Amino acid sequence: MKNTVVTFQEAKQKGEKLSMLTAYDYSTAKLIDEAGVNAILVGDSLGMVVLGYEDTLSVTMEDMIHHSAAVARGIKDTLLITDMPFMSYQTSVYDAVVNAGRLVKEGRAQAVKLEGGKEVCPQIRAIVNASIPVCAHLGLTPQSVNAFGGFKVQGKGEAAAQKLLDEARAVEEAGAFALVLECVPKALAEKITETVHIPTIGIGAGAGCDGQVLVYQDMLAMYANMKPKFVKQFAQVGEEMRNAFAAYRKEVADGTFPGEEHTFKMDESILDRLY
């Protein structure tokens, strides 16, 4: 069944949990789609887990379009949401609409995601008015890493919790179809989930959210740079890959690979006539 922003709304009403994973390329997207995951996020985490930057700030529109279009070619039923990179929407409402449009037209995104609360509500409203669904993102919003002074849990104190609840109401009111909550205490994420009518998708926000999202390299244990508390490793793919690469290296070195079964044959009498 094709997932859309409408089926997302219905899932919340029916109390059905939504699953989301990141992807950045065709072959991974195809596997995630075949597994029946509801949505793929082409996250700007791309900058860290694929491009090797220390944060997401250097990611460009061109990067996002390139990877979004690759993912789009791999999916059938999954809803494709693509992140708006740093400075593609903060600068003005006009920039936000133009860049959201590029992610749809060139990146084949079916929805876009941007970070922030009240300060980006004019952008959310304008993008939604252009018929592009918007997913909001609150809590630990990595594009604000320099303002936060690091990657830390958000919304712990009373004032911070009230602010987050107000921001959640504001992005819903601005027209967001879903809301990602990143690194928010479980109890506050539950309160926000009960308060808003749009599905909340948690990452490090507990089981009370309407859905969950993880970076696929994290949940496959492929990205060793850090292991946040909220990550569950569903398979040790990183280790499997390293072992396979080492086995290949060894077999090339000792001549075990390629074997006869991997080689092409010809009439070798031809060779005798070559000069």
Residues 151-190 that bind ligand KIV (CB under 6 A): 180, 182
Q: Measured from the CB atom, is 44 or 63 closer to Na ion?
A: 44
Please report whether residue 203 would count as binding ligand KIV according to CB under 6 A. yes
Cα separation of 264 and 242, whole Å? Answer: 29
Q: Measured from the CB atom, is 14 or 136 closer to ligand KIV?
A: 136
Q: Measured from the CB atom, is 94 or 234 closer to ligand KIV?
A: 234
Total site size for ligand KIV, rule CB under 6 A: 11
Residue type, 81: I
Please report whether residue 63 would count as binding Na ion according to CB under 5 A. no
Strands 200-203 and 39-42: unpaired
Cα separation of 261 and 153, whole Å? Answer: 54
Q: Measured from the CB atom, is 11 or 42 closer to ligand KIV?
A: 42
Does 33 belong to an annotated binding site?
Answer: no
Q: Which of 173, 182, 239, 260 is catalytic?
A: 182
Please report whether residue 45 would count as binding ligand KIV according to CB under 6 A. yes
- Tell me whether residue 54 is one of the annotated catalytic residues: no
Please report whether residue 192 would count as binding ligand KIV according to CB under 6 A. no
Residues 5-44 that bind Na ion (CB under 5 A): 43-44
Distance of CA 252 to the CA centre of its chain: 36
Q: How far is the CB of 208 from ligand KIV (least distance, A)?
A: 17
Please report whether residue 218 would count as binding Na ion according to CB under 5 A. no
Q: Are 39 and 78 in contact (CB under 8 A)?
A: yes
Q: Which stretch binds Na ion (CB under 5 A): 67-75, 83-91, 256-264, 267-275?
A: 83-91
The listed partner (ligand KIV, Na ion, none) that binds 48, CB under 5 to 8 Å by sort, is none
* Torsion angles phi and psi, residue 266, rounded to 5: -150, 170
Residues that bind ligand KIV (CB under 6 A): 22, 41, 43-45, 83, 180, 182, 203, 213, 215
Q: Which parts are annotated binding residues for Mg(2+)?
A: 44, 83, 115
Residues that bind Na ion (CB under 5 A): 43-44, 83
